[in-house]
């Protein structure tokens, strides 16, 4: 089996001859600090050897629970936010038919996502859609107290019990949460839900290969053993004893940090497949929440091409030269569509007749890369042989390992997210949450000024 490959030649040409190799010893030290557990946030390194430690028995247990949900539900709602849903959504959307929700496919339940916003309209419309449907819920929250998810879960639990009865609700509600702490754990234990534990030493955005991601992915009908196999192979390919130039995560970490040193403060993740939109979202969270600290960090942005070439393309081609791109390039599509000949050729497109649509997409990709490089935008390319569970596993681990290395290079604690608390504190104060009396007073005084 081939591995995914990173091509940095069109990024390195923007750097001095030794800029990348100068990073080699720093990357080695950063990776050693990860592997030896001496870096900041070292109590959150459980993801590092997670793929190789997942047993067939564990996969079987996850699949067994997934089967209960698949057998008893037409719709399964994945309730979670941030790291508690983005990984699952990434894999499910990348592997699903683009029109899955219109297919009336009795084989697989429809997967919905909730608990990732507080929009009343969103919740009302979802609850309305669920009326009369055989639905189940996977309630995912490591802390078990996240407002968006907890609020949504309370609504879904009630509707599920009202619609399906307490006994069936108990069967089709599954919790993925902490072993002991949090309201999600308390509820799961009290109600007797099947539950899975998120290991203490795996942070939310690194948790896709725990039941946080594995359970929803299995419920959607995908092969989680293959996903884990891909990740485990990438764990080997990026191990500490792999030479720098052969370790794609090390090279990616080095290249993005060398570009950052050269004033490229924004990394744009690019795909040419709409199915990869959520890979962009997952990656943005992984890097944004891990590195954006202490006034530092590359800003992770993302676009879906060729769609966004007709919107953001102008900015990328000619805007401020503080950006670089990382393109996810899928070598082989899963379908084949040949462009037909038309005798009248009214649209003038006969020059494409007989070609695969993917060839046009690939030429758009190549043409864009050349144009953006000419426009002063360094380009990296992650070459993926095809879109399946195995390669998604590789991609996930590749980015996780590179993120761990990159955060250490930057000198931040990659695994915390202290900045996320600021909005919560204000929101709780404004909502008069018990325990926030002092903050409530202060914030009201500030607003009345
Ligand atoms: O990466 C993280 O830790 C966060 O993005 C969390 O995943 C997110 O805030 C959700 O937290 P929880 O799973 O505790 O509900």
As a dihedral over the C-alpha atoms of residue 283, residue 267, residue 311, residue 336, rounded to 10 degrees, the angle is: -50
Transcribe 324-390 into DSSP letters. Answer: EEEEEEEEE-SS--BPPP-SS-TTS-GGGTTSBHHHHHHHHHHHHHHHHHHTT--EEEEEEEE-SHH
5: its two tokens: 């490959």
Mutate which of 142, 282, 300 for ligand 1 pocket (most atoms within 8 A of beta carbon): 142
The Cα 194–Cα 139 span in angstroms is 11
The confidence score (pLDDT) of residue 449 equals 77
Q: Which atom of ligand 1 is nearest to the CA of 198?
A: 13
The Cα 397–Cα 289 span in angstroms is 17
Closest of 58, 78, 79 to residue 196, by C-alpha? 58
As a dihedral over the C-alpha atoms of residue 344, residue 349, residue 355, residue 360, rounded to 10 degrees, the angle is: -160
For the Cβ of 142 lying below 6 angstroms from any atom of ligand 1, the answer is yes
For the Cβ of 414 lying below 6 angstroms from any atom of ligand 1, the answer is no
334 CA to middle of ligand 1, Å? 33
The confidence score (pLDDT) of residue 101 equals 82
Mutate which of 87, 146, 151, 418 for ligand 1 pocket (most atoms within 8 A of beta carbon): 146
Would you please indicate which residues are annotated as catalytic (active-site) residues?
289, 310, 424
The Cα 401–Cα 252 span in angstroms is 10
Scanning 272-330, the segments in alpha helix (DSSP H) are: 277-291, 313-318
| Kind and range of the H or E run holding 5 | strand 5-7
142 CA to middle of ligand 1, Å? 7
For the Cβ of 213 lying below 6 angstroms from any atom of ligand 1, the answer is no
The Cα 288–Cα 283 span in angstroms is 8
Q: Which atom of ligand 1 is nearest to the CA of 182?
A: 14
44 CA to middle of ligand 1, Å? 13
What DSSP designation does 2 have? P
The confidence score (pLDDT) of residue 379 equals 98
164 CA to middle of ligand 1, Å? 30
81 CA to middle of ligand 1, Å? 6
Residues 6+ apart with CB under 8 A from 200: 43, 46, 178, 179
The Cα 232–Cα 239 span in angstroms is 11
List the 110-114 sheet strands across, edge first.
110-114, 75-79, 135-141, 173-177, 194-197
The Cα 303–Cα 322 span in angstroms is 16
For the Cβ of 205 lying below 6 angstroms from any atom of ligand 1, the answer is yes
For the Cβ of 204 lying below 6 angstroms from any atom of ligand 1, the answer is yes
Residues 6+ apart with CB under 8 A from 164: 134, 135, 172
182 CA to middle of ligand 1, Å? 13
Q: Which atom of ligand 1 is nearest to the CA of 177?
A: 13
- Note whether 51 and 397 are within 8 A (CB): yes
| Phi, psi of 136, deg, nearest 5 | -130, 175
Q: Which atom of ligand 1 is nearest to the CA of 285?
A: 5
Residues 6+ apart with CB under 8 A from 50: 202, 209, 210, 231
Mutate which of 175, 177, 204, 413 for ligand 1 pocket (most atoms within 8 A of beta carbon): 204
Q: Which atom of ligand 1 is nearest to the CA of 82?
A: 5
The Cα 37–Cα 55 span in angstroms is 23
140 CA to middle of ligand 1, Å? 9
Closest of 182, 219, 174 to residue 200, by C-alpha? 182
For the Cβ of 182 lying below 6 angstroms from any atom of ligand 1, the answer is no
For the Cβ of 289 lying below 6 angstroms from any atom of ligand 1, the answer is yes
Closest residue by Cα to atom 15, ligand 1, is 141
Tens of pLDDT, residue by residue, the chain (449 residues): 899 999 999 999 999 999 999 999 999 999 999 999 999 999 999 999 999 999 999 999 999 999 999 999 999 999 999 999 999 999 999 999 999 888 877 789 999 999 999 999 999 999 999 999 999 999 999 999 999 999 999 999 999 999 999 999 999 999 999 999 999 999 999 999 999 999 999 999 999 999 999 999 999 999 999 999 999 999 999 999 999 999 999 999 999 999 999 999 999 999 999 999 999 999 999 999 999 999 999 999 999 999 999 999 999 999 999 999 999 999 999 999 999 999 999 999 999 999 999 999 999 999 999 999 999 999 999 999 999 999 999 999 999 999 999 999 999 999 999 998 899 999 999 999 999 999 999 998 999 87
24 CA to middle of ligand 1, Å? 32
The Cα 288–Cα 254 span in angstroms is 17
Residues 6+ apart with CB under 8 A from 195: 174, 175, 176, 177, 185, 188, 189
Residues 6+ apart with CB under 8 A from 353: 339, 340, 341, 342
The Cα 388–Cα 134 span in angstroms is 29
For the Cβ of 157 lying below 6 angstroms from any atom of ligand 1, the answer is no
Residue 384 pairs with which residues in a beta bridge? 330
The Cα 390–Cα 398 span in angstroms is 12
**Residue 132 Ramachandran class (φ > 0 left, ψ -120 to 50 alpha, else beta):** left
- Note whether 394 and 3 are within 8 A (CB): yes
Residues 6+ apart with CB under 8 A from 179: 185, 197, 200
Q: Which atom of ligand 1 is nearest to the CA of 420?
A: 9
- Note whether 354 and 339 are within 8 A (CB): yes
């Amino acid at each position: 089996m081939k591995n995914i490959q990173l091509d940095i030649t069109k990024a390195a040409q923007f750097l001095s001859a030794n800029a990348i190799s100068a990073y080699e010893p720093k990357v080695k030290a950063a990776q050693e600090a990860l592997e030896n557990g001496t870096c900041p946030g070292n109590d959150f390194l459980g993801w590092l050897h997670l793929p190789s430690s997942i047993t067939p028995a564990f996969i079987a247990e996850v699949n067994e629970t997934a089967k209960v949900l698949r057998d008893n539900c037409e719709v399964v709602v994945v309730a979670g936010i941030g790291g508690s849903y983005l990984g699952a959504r990434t894999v499910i959307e990348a592997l699903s038919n683009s029109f899955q929700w219109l297919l009336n496919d009795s084989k697989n339940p429809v997967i919905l996502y909730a608990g990732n916003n507080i929009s009343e309209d969103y919740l009302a419309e979802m609850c309305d859609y669920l009326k009369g449907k055989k639905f189940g819920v996977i309630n995912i929250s490591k802390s078990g107290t996240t407002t968006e998810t907890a609020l949504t879960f309370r609504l879904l639990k009630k509707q599920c019990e009202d619609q399906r009865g307490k006994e069936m609700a108990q069967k089709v509600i599954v919790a993925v949460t902490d072993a002991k702490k949090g309201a999600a754990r308390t509820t799961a234990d009290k109600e007797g839900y099947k539950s899975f534990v998120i290991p203490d030493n795996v942070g939310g955005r690194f948790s896709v290969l725990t039941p946080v991601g594995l359970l929803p992915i299995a419920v959607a009908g995908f092969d989680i053993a293959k996903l884990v196999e891909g990740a485990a192979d990438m764990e080997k390919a990026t191990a500490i004893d792999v030479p720098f130039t052969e370790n794609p995560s090390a090279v990616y970490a080095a290249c993005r940090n060398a570009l950052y040193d050269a004033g490229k403060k924004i990394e744009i993740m690019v795909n040419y497949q709409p199915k990869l939109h959520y890979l962009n979202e997952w990656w943005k969270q992984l890097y944004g929440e891990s590195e954006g600290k202490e006034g530092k960090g590359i800003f992770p942005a993302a676009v879906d091409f060729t769609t966004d070439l007709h919107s953001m393309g102008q900015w990328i081609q000619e805007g401020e030269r503080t950006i670089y791109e990382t393109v996810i390039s899928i070598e082989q599509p899963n379908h084949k569509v040949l462009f037909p000949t038309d005798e009248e050729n009214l649209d003038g497109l006969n020059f494409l007749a007989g070609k695969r649509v993917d060839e046009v997409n690939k030429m758009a990709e190549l043409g864009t890369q050349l144009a953006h490089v000419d426009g002063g935008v360094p380009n990296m390319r992650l070459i993926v042989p095809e879109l399946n569970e195995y390669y998604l596993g590789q991609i996930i681990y590749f980015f996780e390992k590179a993120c761990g290395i990159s955060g250490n290079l930057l000198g931040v604690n990659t695994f915390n997210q202290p900045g996320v608390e600021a909005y919560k504190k204000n929101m709780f104060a404004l909502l008069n949450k018990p325990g926030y009396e002092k903050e409530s007073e202060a914030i009201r005084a500030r607003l009345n000024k």
